[in-house]
């Protein structure tokens, strides 16, 4: 469903990805693990169409996406992908429900309908009681569950999460992962999580390990 073939990406003299190939099936939850600097975030950025590899191919449902132009890749990301980063990156002036509704509002859905969808997703992620609070009033774990809700509200094909629990203590991190995995499985969403934390990787169906920009384990399902 999502496939990378012989990806290569360098930054100046640093080789971040040195021939990475992998395949992620529809509905699969995959953890990309490896030490800091092994190329995990660069791989996520290539697969999510945020950056383009210098060589190799990225395919979604068989179609090349790495060759698309900037505008097409932006459209693809809005249509098919959801992304969660380490610090949630919510809009501070908006309530949790408004933050989650934002991608729908950008897609010109009605305000009431968008807020209804947002509240229902917040409920599924166990943070319904935060709906009317602003980010400054929320814990790190609540913030990340709201960021997951915002990434899922458009019903993406793939959810990409880059160290989604990296700023949390282990209990809060496990709660975020539990909520993320349940929500993704309920919709059959494919998930790719970048993490250096074994407890996070344990929530995945499969682990793909990177070292120095190459896959060292886990390419076969």
* Identity of the residue, 16 or 22, whose beta carbon is nearer to ligand ADP in the bound complex: 16
* Span of 35-43, 63-71, 90-98, 121-129 interacting with ligand ADP by CB under 6 A: 35-43
The backbone region for 155, taken as left when phi is positive above 0, alpha when psi lies in -120 to 50, beta otherwise, is: left
Between 37 and 126, name the residue whose CB sits nearer to ligand ADP: 37
Cα 19 to Cα 55, 64, 164, 173, 216: the distances in Å are 8, 17, 26, 31, 12
Cβ proximity to ligand ADP, 14 vs 170, nearer residue: 14
Q: Does 13 participate in binding ligand ADP (rule CB under 6 A)?
A: no
92 touches 135 (CB < 8 A): yes
What is the β-pairing status of strands 81-84 and 158-162? parallel
Site string for ligand ADP, 131-170 (x = CB under 6 A): ----------------------------------------
Residue 198 has a CB neighbour count (10 Å cut-off) of 10
- In the complex with ligand ADP, the residue whose CB is nearer, 86 or 117, is 86
Binder among 38, 95, 144, 195 for ligand ADP (CB under 6 A):
38
Rounded to 5 degrees, φ, ψ at 160 are -105, 130
Q: Compare residues 117 and 195 and give the one whose CB is closer to ligand ADP.
A: 195
Tokens of 83: 């992304």
d(CA 84, CA 160): 6
Give the shortest CB-42-to-ligand ADP separation in angstroms: 3
Note whether 176 and 168 are within 8 A (CB).
yes
Q: Which of 33, 41, 143, 189 binds ligand ADP (CB under 6 A)?
A: 41
- Decide: is 195 part of the binding site for ligand ADP (CB under 6 A): no
Contact footprint for ligand ADP (CB under 6 A): 11, 14, 16, 34, 36-42
């Amino acid at each position: 469903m999502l496939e990378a073939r012989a990806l290569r990406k360098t930054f100046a003299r640093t080789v971040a990805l040195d021939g990475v190939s992998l395949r992620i099936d529809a509905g699969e939850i995959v953890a990309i693990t490896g030490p800091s600097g092994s190329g995990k975030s660069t791989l996520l950025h290539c697969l999510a169409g945020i950056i383009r590899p210098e060589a190799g191919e990225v395919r979604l449902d068989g179609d090349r996406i790495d060759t698309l132009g900037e505008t097409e890749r932006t459209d693809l990301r809005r249509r098919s992908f959801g992304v969660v980063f380490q610090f949630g990156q919510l809009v501070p002036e908006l309530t949790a429900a408004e933050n989650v509704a934002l991608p729908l509002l950008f897609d010109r859905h009605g305000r009431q309908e968008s807020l209804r969808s947002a509240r229902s997703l917040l409920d599924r992620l166990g943070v319904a009681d935060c709906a009317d609070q602003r980010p400054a009033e929320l814990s790190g774990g609540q913030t990340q569950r709201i960021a997951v809700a915002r990434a899922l509200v458009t019903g993406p094909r793939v959810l990409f999460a880059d160290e989604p629990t990296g700023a949390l203590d282990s209990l809060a991190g496990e709660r975020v992962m539990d909520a993320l995995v349940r929500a993704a499985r309920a919709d059959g969403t494919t998930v790719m999580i970048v993490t250096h934390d074994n407890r996070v990787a344990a929530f995945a169906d499969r682990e793909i390990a990177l070292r120095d920009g190459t896959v060292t384990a886990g390419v076969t399902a």
